[in-house]
């Protein structure tokens, strides 16, 4: 895009010379009721690129399918990295030119005793001369900070290169991801989107992640330019502007303000090829000499292991390990990932916790692997992520972000212990959980049997199928002989088992994002009629059950003209649910005094009038409940119903009611909530918000509470004043306030009492079901109940009870 003629042709040729990222196989948990343990049926192969952001074309992979035919066909295709046309030539400090060991030195090393032969002290003339001759690129003076500033493609403070993220940030352009592809609907840093904050900027990052171009589509702006790591962008700003803006970007300058000195290159002159003693040590852990040599694993004169960290074929850092597992690194060296050159052109990167795990995966045929240099933290750090300049523990991620940003998929294969899980969490927070996958190392047979409650022999024979999740088995892995890391799997289970672990990597959990397989137990319980808590519950009336049943987690809006018996019918309904199904409830009934509400509930429970008929003027003489009935009824009332009342003169808000209802869920396990009525709550809203918007947000909060807590909510709302009303029942759109009462409700119910003797008995009450979202709960229809004024009970007109 930024070059023409020969330069563009060269760029195109270099891109097409790379093997494209293979399509990824996304494993899934079997949906067959989870009866098999540790087996997953593979989905059809999916392209690893998302919405064009990957820039790795599927056609290129098809063209090069023949070139990969020589690979092990048993390996999953996504485990192979892309390889460059010209692989890097590693020669750390001229190690290939080292003189062969003398017989005495070789015998000393093979015996395990550190070689104490003639050694030149640092600073002596001979040592300096030999080091310069063996490693001329390490003896040169590194660039100063001023020299680095003259080269926009190099940041000499740590020796790491500038990235496309840095260049875009210097122009005020910030993206959620910096993978190749097209990004739209961004705020232009020049015009800020105008007065309407229009998202008018489009950005394209080229497939090689070396250049980008952008354009603002606002007519009054039209800013169009680009940038390139090669410095050849057609409209790139001058260095002074880049430097000024870079200083404002935390990502570009992260940590360098705190430490200005140039990172030191480690001394490799004293490293020697591995002795037979260390070769035997690696062989016992399943690591071959060929793998050790390809990764330039060396030995110190003291007999310790030296892992060389390369970037672009140059040694950047050295990590040392003694056989008793003591670790240290070259002082003052830059922190990067181990094996970085193996993933420089890979669309998938596997991250492990130690160098031994990286070598183990290479033994299994997987090379697109890197290891962290500093091991795992003891726990996940709480709170927000620190800014880049303060994120010193994970500085190696920022130093390698030019390569990490290009990865479409990152597989976290950290250890199975708690620090390993903490490391995976910390890495996913920084790399982005949306592109992270997690490897779970296998548990032992005894651990699996312990989770399933089976005999170990039964599980080994494969005669028992189980629905235990990988997380259940993972929890047992480390405590009962399970595999801790990749190297342990290689040693105990072999190459194929290690490859299968990678193939079974699971998508890293993202809060609020699920798959149906995450709910298999609930789905199968519902199918097997074992989910009694989620079933539609009978109302206690056969007539009503034809059209409406109560389902936990739903919202029912109940309306009707005044004195139609809305509250009375809801009280009768919840009494039926309490007596038949053992439900308990929270009651927020602001129109009733507590003592009057208790009287009405007691009458429905006992079936007799609470007050003296002569005083109350309802009920027959001598039918009043006795003191024993009251005592029994109060005990039942106290166990099943919990009152929400605002003790001050002010009206309660919906948020206040829902907070208390959540407390009632935790303390008393309520299954139902009654809010009666809507107009008795405090409905103060911001000046800019309409009543329709307010009602929509309020009902959303109530529905979210119902779904998250598996509580059915009945919300009573009065209709607006009806003009020219002649006794007909209202509809749900007559509710005062907003049409959202019907739009957002799961169920809509109208209660209507007959007031005309010519149209039927005055004790008949119509229950009109006007909306049912869940067909398992019922359907639209009308039914009639008979109301007993003395007891407040309702009966089916036919006399039959459900």
Query: pLDDT (tens digit, 9 = 90+) per residue, 412-459?
Result: 999 999 999 999 999 998 998 889 999 999 875 544 444 344 444 444
The pLDDT value given to residue 478: 43
pLDDT in tens, 208-220: 788 899 999 887 8
pLDDT tens profile 265-276: 898 999 999 999
**Whether residue 36 has pLDDT greater than 50:** no
Is residue 343 one of the residues assigned to a domain?
A: no
pLDDT of residue 780 exceeding 60: yes
User: Considering the domain boundaries, does residue 306 fall inside one?
Assistant: no
pLDDT grade for 379, boundaries at 50, 70 and 90: confident
End residue of a domain, out of 196, 227, 248: 248
Average pLDDT over residues 222-237: 69
Q: Which of 30-44, 513-527, 685-699 has the lowest mean pLDDT?
A: 30-44
Task: Check whether 612 has a pLDDT greater than 90.
Answer: no
So what's the pLDDT on residue 459? 43
Whether pLDDT at 770 is above 90: yes
Nearest to 751 by CA among 545, 541, 561: 561
Whether 232 is in a domain gets the answer yes
How does residue 801 score in pLDDT terms, banded at 50, 70 and 90? low
Phi–psi pair at 624, nearest 5 degrees:
-70, 145
pLDDT value of position 767? 95
Residue range 566-578: mean pLDDT, rounded: 95
What lies within 8 Å, CB to CB, of 331 at 6+ separation is 264
CB atoms within 10 A of CB 800: 10
Q: Which residues pair with 510 in a beta bridge?
A: 513
Q: How far apart are CA 565 and CA 542, in angstroms?
A: 19
- Of 233, 248, 263, at which residue does a domain stop? 248
In this predicted structure, the answer to whether residue 194 has a pLDDT above a threshold of 60 is yes
Up-side HSE of residue 47: CA atoms within 13 Å toward CB? Answer: 15
Q: Hey, which bits of 651-791 come out as E strands?
A: 672-676, 712-716, 747-753, 764-772, 781-788
Q: Please, what sign has the CA dihedral across residues 69, 71, 74, 76?
A: negative
Residue 531 has a pLDDT of 62
In the predicted model, is pLDDT for residue 746 greater than 70? yes
pLDDT value, residue 516: 86
Cα distance between residue 341 and residue 296, in whole Å: 13
Local confidence band at 647 (pLDDT 50, 70, 90 cut-offs)? confident
How far apart CA 493 and CA 491 sit, in angstroms, is 6
- Please state at what angle helix 103-110 crosses helix 276-284, rounded to 10 degrees: 30
What is the pLDDT confidence band of residue 689, given thresholds at 50, 70 and 90? confident
Q: Using alpha carbons only, how large is the chain's radius of gyration in Å?
A: 36
Q: Which residues of 87-115 are buried (b: 16+ CB within 10 A; e: fewer)?
A: eeebebbbbeeeeebeeeeeebbeeeeeb
Place of tokens 């990597």: 505
Can you give the residue range of the structural domain that contains 705? 537-586+642-796
Q: What pLDDT is attached to residue 534?
A: 62
243 pLDDT above the threshold of 90 = no
- Composition of the chain by helix, strand, coil, percent to 5: 35, 15, 45
The answer to whether residue 6 sits within a structural domain is no
Q: What is the pLDDT of residues 68-82, one digit of tens each?
A: 343 343 344 444 343
* Range from 466-475, 641-650, 701-710, 763-772 carrying the lowest mean pLDDT: 466-475
Residue in the block written with tokens 């800013």: 223
- Residue 615's Cβ-count burial label (10 Å; 0-12, 13-18, 19+) is exposed
CA distance 377 to 328: 16
Q: Note whether residue 635 is domain-resident.
A: no
Asked if pLDDT for residue 783 goes beyond 80, the answer is yes
- How many angstroms separate the CA atoms of 3 and 233, rounded? 8
Residue 46 in contact with residue 23, Cβ under 8 Å? yes
Please work out, in degrees rounded to the nearest 5, the angle formed at the alpha carbon of residue 473 by the alpha carbons of 483 and 455.
100
Q: Of 184, 215, 248, at which residue does a domain stop?
A: 248
**pLDDT at residue 510, as a whole number:** 82
Which comes out higher in pLDDT, residue 13 or 286? 286
161 vs 520, residue with greater confidence: 520
CB-CB contact of 442 with 477 (8 Å) = yes
Most confident of 140-154, 556-570, 682-696, 750-764: 556-570
Place of tokens 């070598």: 359
Q: Which residue has the higher pLDDT, 576 or 30?
A: 576
220 versus 90: which is more confidently predicted?
A: 220
Domain total in the chain: 2
Q: Is the pLDDT of residue 636 over 50?
A: yes
Angle made by CA atoms 752, 753, 757, in degrees to the nearest 5: 140
Domain membership of residue 428 (yes or no) is no
Please indicate, yes or no, if residue 124 is contained in any of the structural domains: no
The CB density around residue 338, as the number of other CB atoms within 10 Å, is 24
Q: State the distance between the two ends of the chain, measured CA to CA, in whole angstroms.
A: 75
726: phi then psi, degrees, rounded to nearest 5: -120, 25
734: in domain:
yes
495-503 and 486-493 are packed helices; what angle lies between their axes, rounded to 10 degrees? Answer: 130
């Amino acid at each position: 895009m930024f070059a023409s003629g020969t330069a563009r042709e060269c760029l195109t040729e270099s891109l097409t010379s790379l093997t494209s990222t293979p399509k990824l196989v996304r494993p899934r948990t079997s949906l067959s009721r989870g009866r098999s343990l540790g087996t997953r049926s593979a989905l059809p192969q999916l392209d690893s690129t998302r919405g064009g952001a990957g820039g790795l074309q599927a056609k290129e992979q098809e063209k090069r399918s023949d070139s990969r035919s020589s690979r092990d066909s048993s390996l999953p295709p996504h485990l192979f990295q892309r390889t460059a046309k010209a692989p890097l030539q590693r020669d750390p400090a001229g190690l290939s030119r080292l003189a062969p060991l003398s017989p005495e030195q070789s015998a000393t090393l093979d015996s395990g005793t550190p070689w104490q032969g003639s050694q030149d002290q640092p600073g002596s003339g001979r040592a300096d001369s030999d080091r310069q001759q063996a490693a001329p690129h390490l003896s040169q003076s590194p660039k100063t900070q001023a020299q680095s500033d003259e080269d926009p493609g190099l940041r000499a403070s740590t020796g790491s290169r500038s990235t496309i993220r840095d260049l875009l940030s210097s122009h005020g352009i910030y993206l959620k991801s910096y993978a190749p592809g097209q990004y739209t609907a961004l705020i232009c840093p020049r015009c800020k989107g105008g007065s309407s904050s229009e998202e008018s900027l489009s950005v394209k990052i080229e497939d090689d992640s070396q250049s980008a171009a952008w354009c603002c589509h606002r007519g009054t702006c039209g800013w169009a330019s680009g940038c390139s790591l090669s410095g050849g962008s057609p409209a790139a700003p001058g260095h002074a502007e880049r430097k000024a803006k870079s200083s404002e970007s935390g990502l570009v300058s992260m940590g360098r303000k705190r430490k200005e000195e140039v990172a030191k290159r480690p001394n490799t002159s004293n490293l020697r090829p591995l002795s037979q003693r260390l070769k035997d040590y690696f062989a016992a852990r399943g690591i071959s000499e060929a793998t050790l040599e390809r990764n330039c694993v060396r030995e110190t004169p003291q007999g310790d292991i030296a892992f060389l960290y390369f970037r672009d074929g140059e040694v950047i850092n050295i990590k040392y390990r003694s056989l008793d597992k003591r670790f240290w690194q070259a002082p003052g060296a830059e922190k990067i990932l181990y094996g970085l050159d193996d993933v420089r052109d890979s669309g998938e990167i596997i991250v492990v916790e130690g160098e031994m795990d990286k070598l183990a995966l290479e033994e299994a045929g997987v090379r697109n692997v890197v290891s962290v240099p500093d091991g795992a933290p003891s726990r996940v750090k709480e709170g927000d992520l620190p800014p880049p300049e303060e994120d010193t523990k994970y500085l190696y991620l920022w130093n390698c972000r030019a390569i990490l940003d290009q990865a479409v998929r990152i597989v976290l294969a950290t250890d199975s212990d708690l620090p390993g899980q903490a490391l995976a969490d910390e890495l996913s927070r920084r790399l982005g959980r949306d592109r992270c996958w997690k490897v779970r190392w296998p548990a032992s047979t005894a651990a699996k049997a312990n989770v399933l409650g089976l005999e170990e022999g039964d599980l080994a024979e494969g005669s028992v199928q189980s629905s235990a999740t990988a997380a259940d088995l993972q929890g047992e892995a480390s405590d009962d002989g399970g595999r801790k890391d990749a190297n342990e799997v290689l040693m105990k289970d072999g190459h194929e088992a290690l490859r299968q672990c990678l193939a079974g990597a699971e998508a890293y959990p993202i809060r609020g994002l699920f798959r149906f397989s995450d709910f298999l137990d609930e789905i199968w319980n519902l199918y097997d009629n074992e989910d009694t808590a989620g079933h539609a519950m009978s109302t206690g009336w056969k007539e009503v059950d034809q059209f409406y049943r109560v389902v936990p987690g739903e919202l029912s809006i109940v309306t009707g003209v005044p004195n139609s018996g809305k509250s009375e019918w809801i009280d009768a309904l919840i009494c039926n649910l309490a007596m038949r199904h053992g439900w308990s409830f929270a009651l927020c009934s602001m129109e009733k005094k507590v003592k009057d509400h208790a009287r009405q509930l007691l009458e429905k429970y006992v079936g007799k009038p609470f007050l003296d008929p002569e005083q109350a003027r309802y009920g027959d003489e001598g039918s009043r409940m006795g003191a024993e009935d009251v005592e029994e009824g109060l005990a039942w009332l106290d166990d099943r119903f919990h009152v929400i009342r605002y003790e001050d003169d002010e009206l309660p808000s919906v948020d206040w009611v829902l907070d208390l209802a959540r407390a009632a869920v935790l303390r008393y396990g309520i299954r139902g909530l009654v809010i009666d009525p809507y107009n008795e709550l405090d409905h103060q809203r911001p000046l800019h918000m309409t009543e329709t918007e307010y009602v929509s947000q309020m009902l959303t909060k109530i529905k979210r509470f119902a779904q998250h807590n598996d509580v059915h909510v009945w919300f009573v709302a009065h209709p607006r004043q009806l003009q020219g009303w002649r006794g007909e029942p209202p509809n749900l759109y007559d509710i005062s306030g907003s049409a959202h009462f019907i739009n957002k409700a799961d169920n809509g119910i109208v209660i209507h009492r007959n007031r005309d003797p010519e149209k039927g008995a005055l004790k008949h009450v119509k229950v009109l079901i006007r909306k049912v979202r869940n067909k398992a709960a019922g359907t639209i229809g009308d039914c009639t109940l008979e109301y007993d004024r003395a007891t407040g009970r309702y009966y089916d007109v036919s006399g039959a009870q459900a």
